[in-house]
Amino acid sequence: MSLLDHSGFTYFKDILHAQYETRTQKIILNPLKSMDEALGQEYEKGEAAGIKFAEEFVSIRLEDLSEQIDELLKGRTKDQGGDGSSDDNSEGQD
């Protein structure tokens, strides 16, 4: 199972998606009445961009970690002869 398929990450993405949708709907659907509101809207745009960045960053990092774990496990399997057994602990055991 990939780290990207983990239920915790799915929950994280669902929360971020809901937060992103809330902010983008507010930005798109609320007409501005003053310059002060324009400044507030720019702040909200920054929040929405940050939420998208967080989702993408964590996805990329988890993908990278999954690849590193796979490589480590492949190296470990090669060291053990590919069958999962190790000769190091076989001596002296009854």
DSSP code string of the chain: --GGG-HHHHHHHHHHHHHHHHHHHHHHHS---SHHHHHHHHHHHHHHHHHHHHHHHHHHHHHHHHHHHHHHHHHHHHHTTTSS--STT-TT--
Tell me if 18 is assigned to some domain.
yes
pLDDT, one tens digit per residue, over 18-43 is 999 999 999 999 888 888 899 889 99
Tell me if 87 is assigned to some domain.
no
pLDDT-derived band at 54 (thresholds 50, 70, 90) equals very high
Residue 1 has pLDDT above 70, yes or no: no
Q: How many domains does the chain have?
A: 1
Instruction: For residue 25, give its domain range.
Output: 3-79
Tell me if 91 is assigned to some domain.
no
Phi and psi at residue 32, to the nearest 5°: -85, 140
Tell me the average pLDDT of the chain.
85
Residue 84 has pLDDT above 80, yes or no: no
Residue 45 has pLDDT above 90, yes or no: yes
